Amino acid sequence: MEAEFKPQTDPQSSQQGLVHIGADVKVTGKFEACDIAEIHGSLDGEIQTNELLIHEGGHLTGMAVCKVVRISGALDGEVDASELLQIQAKGRVDGKINYTRLVIEDGGILKGDVSPNSKVQRSKPEVPLKNSPGGSLLKITDQSVVPADDLAAE
């Protein structure tokens, strides 16, 4: 059974363009042109949305093309996050991953073919890491990994 979502056209609706897949609900299909999608249950298919939230216990198998993706559950397949991919502490992503900005919280898992989108500024990439060994912040640049405390001396 295939499901297809079309956003509501009522401009007064506060739920315009919202997809919500509840816990214990399993959906197979393709969702396009939605504003926000929340997955508490399971989606096997494709989704194109501005913001995708996969909650703890939620699972997407397939493809996601989104501006912002926040994952506390699991995603197996392809994800293209044009603005932000955030893997939270209990989140897991496995597959082909394209991102512009990537945040992985302590405990989050990222596995697969990981590539930055063309929007990523390559001249001076840097990613601050919380919870680094020794408890200090690290700054990763294209040339080295430096404890953040040492940056003040630069």
How does the average pLDDT of the chain come out, rounded? 79
SS3 label, residue 32:
strand
Q: What's the token pair of residue 99?
A: 């991102």
pTM over 0.85: no
In tens, the pLDDT along 6-45 reads 444 344 445 568 999 999 999 999 998 889 999 999 999 9
**CB 18 within 8 Å of CB 3:** no
**CB 90 within 8 Å of CB 72:** yes
- Predicted confidence at residue 15, as pLDDT, reads 59
How wide is the angle at C-alpha 85 spanned by C-alphas 84 and 90, nearest 5°? 140
Every domain of the chain and the residues it spans:
3-120, 122-154
